[in-house]
Structure 1
Amino acid sequence: MPAGKSQYRKGEYPTFEDYSIYAQRVVLNGEFVQHSHDFDEIVLILSGTGEHLVGQRVYSLKRGDVFVIKGETRHGFRGAENLELVNVMYDPRILLSGEGDLRAVAGFAYLFLVQPAIAQQEEYPYAVFLDEDATETASTLCGFLIRQLEDCAGQYQVAVQYGFKTLAAYLANHYRTREDLSEKLGIFTRAVQYLQYNAARPIKLQEVAEAAAVSQRHLERVFFEVCGLSPMAYLLELRLRHASLLLRGTSKTVAEIAGECGFEDPSYFARVFKRKYGAPPNQCRNAKAL
């Protein structure tokens, strides 16, 4: 009988309420059913063998393999034999909150935005991994974070946030890919990093193309081929996703959230939000509504 269940929620984990993070080191054997969750997750493979099922894709696992899994992506394991791994489960808002903006880290866009969106595609060849030295360091950082969470009683907010962001920044700076990124994916990643970092202000297509070092026409072609959206439509999706996270996790007004997410007109924000989620922002404070 496979272990696990089809869906996990952050309320099941004891430190999520105080820290928006939970981390654990586990050993799997056999099958762990594909599932989704209402948080994002970093998976670091430490030892053992097995396969990781991510959407339609199956990955044969090795020490040092790294995955960032978005909450809506179904994933699981099969054929696991003493498969030791670290799960770091987190609310994605924590990546962009507090001190230390991870969007400025060189590898952030690919590891935390691009790779999670396309790693479930069957033809995706750019699996992420760490070399042996980086794996050992990442394991140590995970151990520090786990100990802080185990010892906490609500008073270690700074240490936990620091531990998580140090780990995330280290992974973004030290990962490698099984194959060199194609020119197309490199262009897409540079553009996504620029969009993510500047999403709170007005952005023109020309400046995104300049950041990606291509023409506007070529940039639009790359975006349609990779994600099926134009660069500006992708930016709108980024802004709406950030807005939905703020609605679920803060008490800010709709107008404040609109401004923080790059919408100059709150009325326009309300219209596009309703078009995306089926209800206006002020009715979507409940996480289950989004």
Structure 2
Amino acid sequence: MSKHKGAWTVSSLNLFDELSEHVMLRIYACGEAIHSDGWIENKQHPDYDLWFIRKGNIEIRIDEQVHLASEGDLILFSPKVAYTATNLGAECSFIFTHFHFSLGNHLRILDNYSLEGIMASSLVQEEMGLYLDTFNQHMHGIPMSAIRLKGALTILIAKILECYGRGDYQGGFAKHVPARNRNTNLQALQPVFAFIQDRLHQPIRIGELAELAGMSEKYFILYFKQALGITPGSYIYQLKMNRARELLYSRTYSIQQIAGLLGYPDPYSFSKAFKKYYKVPPSKFVW
């Protein structure tokens, strides 16, 4: 991974922290598959699919390229990739999980990152152990295990993203994705994200963001929403509310000062925006 690419990747990964309240993970199916010698599967999933290899060796063929996964490896498939999987040996078994991971209305936000591929579980050992524990509980019908399973998978995906952002992992399937299916929306918005971060203390006009991106205002709003799942106005509002919460918890600034630090014209405008988001006025947010 080049330094340039890594720089924008780390920056774009910050979006998951900034917009964590807009992140939604849905598990559609999970279970354990056991296949004997001669098993073969040709598929392109409509969702994301994560395998944990418990036993055996599996060959994944994409186009003319061959990838090998063995016991303890993770395999992440995305809707972008068609593959052929084959058992190498007498028997293989793996845990599978079909899921969607969305940000706002963007159901395939992970397509912005080259995550699909084979990953050594040693990179996510603690998180994978937690997921396996909750998976076993879920298979035995333990109360509340479905909620724990969703939480454990969220933690695991977050760790995979962290490894990708640090450059410790990059999916090997991504190079097989046709150019028309590659999502580069977030790359084009990096200057916009930086501009907003640097000017949270000022009123920000959508028109100046569109100009920075080299787009008309109407097209920019559409482009931004397709890329992020929320409008640019909602994104700015979320960042301001995140920052307001931090400033209030610091107990260092008055409400009037916080209003000024976040670009609001007066304390009333800030308090109104804050109450709309948190359902309580800033004066009663911190006890």
| TM-score higher than 0.5 | no
Which structure would you say has the larger RCO, counting Cα contacts within 8 Å and 6 or more residues apart?
2
- TM normalised by structure 1 equals 0.41
- TM normalised by structure 2 equals 0.41
